[in-house]
């Protein structure tokens, strides 16, 4: 495990992965120095040294991060790591949490749920982190969550959308919406906006994420009056999808729903186009990775996905995040994983500040009480099952870009609770 583990003060981890040209950091450093000189000491905490008589705890706060940094969905882990590190650097540069700096301990789960469970044991028992920002894919969170729960270390998944993740226990939280909502969002978009009456679905049968999205898409699409006329399955890493795609092609559906991860989707999309399939391909957040374009080329043009945010959104908060992230990470556009991980880290920091302690039970309670936290991906409030209730966006894929189409909001908690245990979408609006 030694090679996978990085136990470094955050600035060292950061330095290793930084582009060499960093105007943003320099500009921020100059601003910070100016702030220290110009503003009164009470307004800006510039003091790095403990003053005589100051008994406040100045030890670092250790937080764990794990994700797929080198496996089949490595884009997910790398993006989330970037988001986490950027949030940590901002917090540390502003003086830390109640005067304490954050140290981040990073592990690679290689996209393997078993390894994710192992690294959680290492992070909680050996490194003694006080909280975890992880995991990415739902399969990893489902495997690793029970270890975080039994160690009583709060785990905030930035992006795992499978409903069962937070049902593991009261130490497991998430910063994103859940798949019953995500499946319904795409069913409504297909039926109402694309006017699709029939759909085919091809799912990754080993993935809880893919299985549940299939179920919830089908449920909603059928309820609206649509019909699922062909259902095929595959397993992550398969290379030949032509048999399933031929069956789908002969069923002549209006749309094809592919609730999988970007690596498989690229191969499926290419083979679909080779077979002459021209219908729109539809997916979920699992498609969102810069790597998708390199792997799939123009075979995914004209597809639509549901996602957590759009980097094109003109809102000042999103544009500031996109601008800062590009400066940090060599002009990369932040995907949903990066934005969600940034939000998850910021909302953990806010909960620690509110709790005034890292003591586990108080921190768990503060996290559960999170209300109206203003994140890049939306307003985060925890519901009673520790899920964030937030809107989703629909994006169109065209020539290397994810083009914003519309936002779909969950129903108000009261009416949603009556209709279904998860929040269901109520209305959409075009910007
Ligand atoms: N929601 C996916 C899952 O639960 C992970 C994911 C989130 C992928 C965001 C991409 C972007 O497995």
The total domain count for the chain is 3
Ligand 1 atom having least distance to the Cα of 208: 12
Q: Give the pLDDT band (50/70/90) at residue 12.
A: very low
According to the model, what pLDDT value does residue 424 have?
52
Q: Is the CB of 174 under 6 A from ligand 1?
A: no
Tokens of 169: 């226990």
Q: Are residues 165 and 187 in the same domain?
A: no
Last residue of a domain, one of 307, 330, 355: 307
Least confident of 26-35, 68-77, 214-223: 26-35
Residue 401 has pLDDT above 60, yes or no: yes
According to the model, what pLDDT value does residue 54 have?
72
Q: Give the pLDDT band (50/70/90) at residue 56.
A: confident
The residue whose CA has the least distance to atom 11 of ligand 1 is 285
Q: Is the CB of 391 under 6 A from ligand 1?
A: no
Compute the mean pLDDT over every residue in the chain, rounded to the nearest whole number: 88
Strand-pairing partners, residue 282, are 257, 304
Q: Give the pLDDT band (50/70/90) at residue 429.
A: very low
Cα–ligand 1 centroid distance for 289 (angstroms): 10
Q: What is the 3-state secondary structure (H, E, C) of 151-219?
A: HCCCEEECCCCCHHHHHHCCCEEECCCCHHHHHHHHHHHHHHHCCCCEEEEEEECCCHHHHHHHHHHHH
Residue 271 has pLDDT above 50, yes or no: yes
Q: Are residues 188 and 140 in the same domain?
A: no
Residue 411 counted as domain residue: no
- Structure confidence by residue, pLDDT tens digits, 66-84: 999 999 999 999 999 999 9
The beta-strand segments (E) located in 29-93 are 61-67
Can you tell me the mean pLDDT for 337-345? 98
Kindly provide the b/e burial profile for residues 339-356, where b requires at least 16 CB atoms within 10 angstroms of the residue's own CB: bbbbbbbbbbbbbbeebe
- CB under 8 Å to 136, separation ≥6 — which residues? 67, 68, 73, 76, 77, 80, 157, 158, 159, 160, 337
Q: Is the CB of 341 under 6 A from ligand 1?
A: no
Q: Is the CB of 306 under 6 A from ligand 1?
A: no
pLDDT cut 70: percent of the chain above it: 84
The whole model's pTM is what? 0.86
Least confident of 2-11, 99-108, 114-123, 380-389: 2-11
Residue 108 parent element (H or E): strand 102-108
Q: Are residues 145 and 162 in the same domain?
A: yes
Q: Are residues 328 and 213 in the same domain?
A: no
In degrees, rounded to 5, the angle at the alpha carbon of residue 239 between the alpha carbons of residues 235 and 245 is: 80
Least confident of 54-58, 207-211, 301-305, 346-350: 54-58
Residue 139 counted as domain residue: yes
d(CA 278, CA 48) in angstroms, rounded, equals 61
Q: Are residues 189 and 301 in the same domain?
A: yes
Q: Are residues 288 and 384 in the same domain?
A: no
Ranges of H-type helices in 356-410: 360-368
d(CA 413, CA 177) in angstroms, rounded, equals 13
Q: Is the CB of 217 under 6 A from ligand 1?
A: no
Q: Are residues 298 and 203 in the same domain?
A: yes
According to the model, what pLDDT value does residue 7 have?
43
Q: Are residues 201 and 257 in the same domain?
A: yes
Give which of 310, 431, 386, 394 is closest to 155, Cα–Cα: 386
d(CA 372, CA 354) in angstroms, rounded, equals 13
Residue 27 has pLDDT above 50, yes or no: no
Residue 419 has pLDDT above 50, yes or no: no
Phi then psi for residue 251, to 5 deg, are: -75, -15
Residue 412 counted as domain residue: no
Last residue of a domain, one of 307, 324, 351: 307
Give which of 108, 135, 142, 100 is closest to 1, Cα–Cα: 108
Q: Are residues 108 and 42 in the same domain?
A: no
Can you tell me the mean pLDDT for 388-408? 95
**What is the sign of the dihedral through the CA atoms of 121, 123, 125 and 129?**
negative
Q: Are residues 217 and 303 in the same domain?
A: yes
CB of 216 closer than 8 Å to CB of 180: yes
Residue 11 counted as domain residue: yes
The residue whose CA has the least distance to atom 7 of ligand 1 is 159
Cα–ligand 1 centroid distance for 137 (angstroms): 5
Residue 163 has pLDDT above 60, yes or no: yes
- CB under 8 Å to 37, separation ≥6 — which residues? none
Residue 431 counted as domain residue: no
According to the model, what pLDDT value does residue 53 have?
73
Tokens of 98: 């109640």
Supply the range of the domain harboring residue 205: 180-307
Cα–ligand 1 centroid distance for 302 (angstroms): 21
Residue 414 counted as domain residue: no
- Structure confidence by residue, pLDDT tens digits, 109-152: 999 999 999 999 999 999 999 999 999 999 999 999 999 999 99
- Structure confidence by residue, pLDDT tens digits, 171-205: 999 999 999 999 999 999 999 999 999 999 999 99
Phi then psi for residue 175, to 5 deg, are: -100, 10
In degrees, rounded to 5, the angle at the alpha carbon of residue 427 between the alpha carbons of residues 308 and 431 is: 65
Cα–ligand 1 centroid distance for 295 (angstroms): 18
The residue whose CA has the least distance to atom 5 of ligand 1 is 137
Q: Are residues 151 and 268 in the same domain?
A: no
Residue 424 counted as domain residue: no
Q: Is the CB of 138 under 6 A from ligand 1?
A: yes
Q: Are residues 206 and 172 in the same domain?
A: no
- Structure confidence by residue, pLDDT tens digits, 288-328: 999 999 999 999 999 999 999 999 999 999 999 999 999 99
Cα–ligand 1 centroid distance for 113 (angstroms): 14
Cα–ligand 1 centroid distance for 119 (angstroms): 20
Q: What CATH number is given to the structural domain containing 379?
A: 3.40.50.2300
Last residue of a domain, one of 307, 328, 360: 307
Residue 90 parent element (H or E): helix 74-93
According to the model, what pLDDT value does residue 58 have?
85
Ligand 1 atom having least distance to the Cα of 136: 5
Residue 87 counted as domain residue: yes
Instruction: Choose between 16 and 231: higher pLDDT.
Output: 231
Q: Give the pLDDT band (50/70/90) at residue 412.
A: low
């Amino acid at each position: 495990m030694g090679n996978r583990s990085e136990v470094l003060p955050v600035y060292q981890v950061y330095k290793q992965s930084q582009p060499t040209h960093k105007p943003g950091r320099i500009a921020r450093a100059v601003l910070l120095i100016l702030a220290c000189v110009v503003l009164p000491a009470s307004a800006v905490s510039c003091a790095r040294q403990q003053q005589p008589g100051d008994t406040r705890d100045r030890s670092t706060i250790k937080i764990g991060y794990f994700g797929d940094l080198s496996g089949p969905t490595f884009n997910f882990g790398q993006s989330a790591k970037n988001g986490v590190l950027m949030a940590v650097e901002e917090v540390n540069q502003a003086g830390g949490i109640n005067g304490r700096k954050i140290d981040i301990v990073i592990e690679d789960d290689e996209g393997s749920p078993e390894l994710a469970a192992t690294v959680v044991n290492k992070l909680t028992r050996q490194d003694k982190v006080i909280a975890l920002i992880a995991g990415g894919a739902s399969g990893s969170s489902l495997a690793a969550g029970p270890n975080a729960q039994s160690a009583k270390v709060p785990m905030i998944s930035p992006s795992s959308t499978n409903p069962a993740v937070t049902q593991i226990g009261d130490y497991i939280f998430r910063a994103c919406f859940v798949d019953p909502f995500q499946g319904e969002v795409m069913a409504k978009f297909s039926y109402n906006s694309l006017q699709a009456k029939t759909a085919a679905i091809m799912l990754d049968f080993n993935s809880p994420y893919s299985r549940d999205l299939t179920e919830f898409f089908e449920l909603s699409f059928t309820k609206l009056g649509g019909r699922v006329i062909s259902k095929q399955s595959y397993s992550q890493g398969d290379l030949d999808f032509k048999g399933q795609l031929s069956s789908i092609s002969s069923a002549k559906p209006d749309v094809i729903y592919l609730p999988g991860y970007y690596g498989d989707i690229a191969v499926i999309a290419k083979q679909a186009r080779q077979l002459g399939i021209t219908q729109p391909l539809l997916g979920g957040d699992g498609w969102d990775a810069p790597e998708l374009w390199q792997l799939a080329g123009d075979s995914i043009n004209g597809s639509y996905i549901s996602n957590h945010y759009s980097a094109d959104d003109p809102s000042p908060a999103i544009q500031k995040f996109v601008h800062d992230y590009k400066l940090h990470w060599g002009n990369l556009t932040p995907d949903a994983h990066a934005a969600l991980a940034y939000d998850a880290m910021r909302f953990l920091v806010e909960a620690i500040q509110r709790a005034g302690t890292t003591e586990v039970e108080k921190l768990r309670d503060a996290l559960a009480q999170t209300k109206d936290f203003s994140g890049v991906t939306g307003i985060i409030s925890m519901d009673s099952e520790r899920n964030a209730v937030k809107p989703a966006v629909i994006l169109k894929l065209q020539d290397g870009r994810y083009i914003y189409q519309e936002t779909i909001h969950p129903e108000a908690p009261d009416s949603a609770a009556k209709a279904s245990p998860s929040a269901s979408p109520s209305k959409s609006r075009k910007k």
